[in-house]
Structure 1
Amino acid sequence: MTENKNILEVHHLKKSFTTGKKSFTAVEDISFSLKTGEVLGIVGESGSGKSTVAKMITHLTEPTAGEIFLMEKDITHARGKNLREIYREMQMIFQTPAESFDPRCTLGDGIGESLRNMGISKKETRNRVEKLLLTCGLTPEYADRYPHQVSGGECQRAAIARALAVEPRVLICDEATSALDVTVQKQIMELLQKLKKENQLSFLFICHDLALVQLFCDRVIVMHDGHVEEEGTPEEIIEHPKTEYTEQLIRSVL
């Protein structure tokens, strides 16, 4: 796959929710692409539809309309075996890592689950889990700890290790640093930068912190009320916003 080839494409994605007799459209006609090795940021105020887009791409919620392509394959309505194959190529890192782990299981169990599901032996899984923990800045002993026994930053490092276990091509970060303090946030961003450089990963980076977006992203999409307000490089968006909404968004956070 060439560097400039699209690894992920979203075409006219829409999501509507119905409660009783009321219908609400959270995402309306969203289209974008993500290239191999690229970091695409998605920004916008709370309720703009950012997380809903991520959930549709990762099949945590079903699109109302539109199409999703991963490595040129239509994955919009993937199920069963096809869905498992998708998760080998694409993984998600959540905002609250402790909630994404089973509290009854150790971090090592959580990180190694996908490897065991692939038929890898218990011993080899343990070896890989320990290497992943080291890659993410944790010692192998963390494999035996439970989510409640570690800090938020440590748990997020373990969550990143879990996402990397299947050697995905795409990482989707949904506010992956927003629950962390500034020092830990900096450490996690340094880890993501390292992974991007060493593994040629592609990132969909959903974030409300424009300073992080400017530091990490190659391109940025601004979302407002479920649609794309504008798109460009971080410098274009922050220094030369095209719409009044983007100007207000930048003023509110910078």
Structure 2
Amino acid sequence: METSMPDTILRAEHLKKVFTSGKKSFTAVEDVSFTLERGECLGIVGESGSGKSTIARMITRLIETTEGSVSLLGKDITNIKGKELRAVYREMQMVFQMPMESFDPRRTLGDGIGESLRNAGMSRRDTKIKTEELLEMCGLTPEFAARYPHEVSGGQCQRAAIARALAVNPSILICDEATSALDVTVQKQVLELLINLKEKKNLSFLLICHDLALVQAFCDKVLVLCRGKVVEQGTPDDIINHPKEEYTKILVDSVL
């Protein structure tokens, strides 16, 4: 009897990133590999400067990889450009740390959320309806479509950013410190929204984070990064309750 293969959405193999400035070079990420399955959440944790955001930017093709490869739904996307890359962004969307900066201040939130829908050929009327549905799915009333980024709170703006990311119905949401700029109460609300989306839509998540409590509440597995290298990986409970490496122990002690 044949066993079905695991539904791997994303695969990163031996990722390396070297930044060069003049005669100086700095290795930000060294030999990082992982997989992400459908409906799964992978947390990447580490101190500031450990290489977490560099990994997210390589995966989303915002920067080139020095070595290694990235595959999305079984297709190598490491070096793709143009039309092929645009197709990738229909499967993979990013939610950034500073939601206010990710919106055009001269355009309404609704305009920002609806942009990808209009680009896909959706009529103005259907775009308006879909935008309002997305806002409601993310805990905002339809009236928020008419507001500008500076007219809403940080938490509301992050919800709108999540709504915009969901507009293309992606397979993966990459959240790069998506709650770290929010206060604790709003963090909890946004986390509850993400958990709800994960369960309802079977979305996969890559959570770039330094908050181990957040990782424990949301993630299925965790990579611990130190100076660009994976020093430990496992379930959140394993990592937090039984850390093997000294670096991980220090990271756990600093937040618990």
Shorter chain as denominator, the TM-score bin is over 0.9
The one of 122, 139, 152 aligned to 2:154: 152
Structure 1 regions of 5+ residues with no counterpart? none
Q: Kindly report which structure 2 residues correspond to 1:161-240, keeping only aligned pairs within 5 A, or say none.
A: 161-240=163-242
* Structure 1 consecutive aligned stretches of length 4 or more whose deviation exceeds 4 Å: none
Q: Give yes or no for contact 1:14–1:30 (8 Å, CA) kept in 2.
A: yes
Residue 249 of structure 2: aligned partner: 247
- Alpha-carbon distance in 1 for matches of 2:138, 2:111: 16
Say whether 1:89 aligns with 2:91.
yes
The one of 43, 52, 55 aligned to 1:53: 55
1:150-184 deviation line (CA, Å, top 9, x unaligned): 00000000000000000001000000000000111
Say whether 1:38 aligns with 2:68.
no
- Alpha-carbon distance in 1 for matches of 2:103, 2:152: 12
- Alpha-carbon distance in 2 for matches of 1:103, 1:24: 35
- Alpha-carbon distance in 1 for matches of 2:124, 2:241: 52
Secondary structure in 2 aligned to 1:166? Answer: coil
Q: Cα distance, 1:129 vs. partner?
A: 0.3
Q: Cα distance, 1:119 vs. partner?
A: 1.0
Q: Cα distance, 1:3 vs. partner?
A: 8.8
Q: Identity over aligned residues, as a percent?
A: 68
Structure 2 regions of 5+ residues with no counterpart? none
Amino acid at match of 2:199: K
Say whether 1:122 aligns with 2:124.
yes
- Alpha-carbon distance in 2 for matches of 1:119, 1:232: 43
Relative to the length of structure 2, the TM-score reads 0.97
Residue 15 of structure 2: aligned partner: 13
Q: Give yes or no for contact 1:3–1:36 (8 Å, CA) kept in 2.
A: no
Residue 131 of structure 1: aligned partner: 133
Q: C-alpha root-mean-square deviation of aligned residues, in Å?
A: 0.9
Relative to the length of structure 1, the TM-score reads 0.98
Q: Cα distance, 1:44 vs. partner?
A: 0.2
1:176-206 deviation line (CA, Å, top 9, x unaligned): 0000001111100010010000000000011
Q: How many residues align?
A: 253
Residue 109 of structure 2: aligned partner: 107
The one of 17, 24, 27 aligned to 1:25: 27
Q: Cα distance, 1:4 vs. partner?
A: 3.2
Q: Give yes or no for contact 1:3–1:35 (8 Å, CA) kept in 2.
A: no
Secondary structure in 2 aligned to 1:105? Answer: coil
Secondary structure in 1 aligned to 2:20? Answer: strand
Secondary structure in 2 aligned to 1:131? Answer: helix
